[in-house]
Amino acid sequence: MLSGRAPDGRKLTTSVRNKTVPHGGCAGEAERTVHFGAVDEVQRGYDLVARLRREMSERSRSDPRVTAVNKKWSTCMRTAGFSYRDPDAAVDDPRWDLRSAAPSRAEIAVAAADISCKLRTNLLGVNFAIEAEYENAAIGDHSRELDAVRAHRDAETERLPRLMRRYDRAP
């Protein structure tokens, strides 16, 4: 079984079709093979990268330079007839039916104003530059750990073609 669990969630401890179910199922075995046994270390690295991305995004969003450009964008949108505190508020407008196959006229009007205001205020450029500044600082602060993540990724990238040739068909 893929996960090493029965459909009802119970852990499989027996074999399936006369084959022993490996710990964590076939997915667990594949992960150990790809990560060359360093699954926990690789997971810690992935967790670090995800945490840093989240934290740097949050920090950049509260940076005074970002809040200032959001305020300029909001003023521009108000001039166009729309009242939103920031671009996220426009995206999250409860009037939008995200299940609809076609946008409404109102959605199109807001989107057009949004793009125009983003270009006028350089909102995307400012946001990108500020977030990159925070990310570069985090990379510097965590260079040793991130170097290990990169080394694992590079080793996996090198191993994958051999593994794909080895397991090119179902057993």
Condensed to tens digits (0 to 9), the pLDDT of residues 5-60 reads 667 776 666 666 777 766 667 666 666 666 665 667 778 888 999 999 999 999 99
Model pTM score: 0.69
Rg (CA), the chain: 24
CA dihedral 143, 149, 153, 155 (to 10 degrees): 90
Domain boundaries, the chain: 1-34, 39-166
CA dist., res. 21 & res. 120, Å (int): 59
Model pLDDT, residue 34: 66
Model pLDDT, residue 171: 45
Model pLDDT, residue 155: 82
For residue range 45-100, what is the model confidence (pLDDT) as tens digits? 889 999 999 999 999 999 999 999 999 999 999 999 999 999 999 999 999 998 99
At 15, which helix (H) or strand (E)?
strand 15-16
**Cβ-count burial of 70 within 10 angstroms (0-12 exposed, 13-18 middle, 19+ buried)?**
buried
What single-letter amino acid sits at 105? R
What single-letter amino acid sits at 31? E
Which residues are CB-neighbours of 122 under 8 A, at least 6 positions away?
A: 69
CA dist., res. 36 & res. 161, Å (int): 14
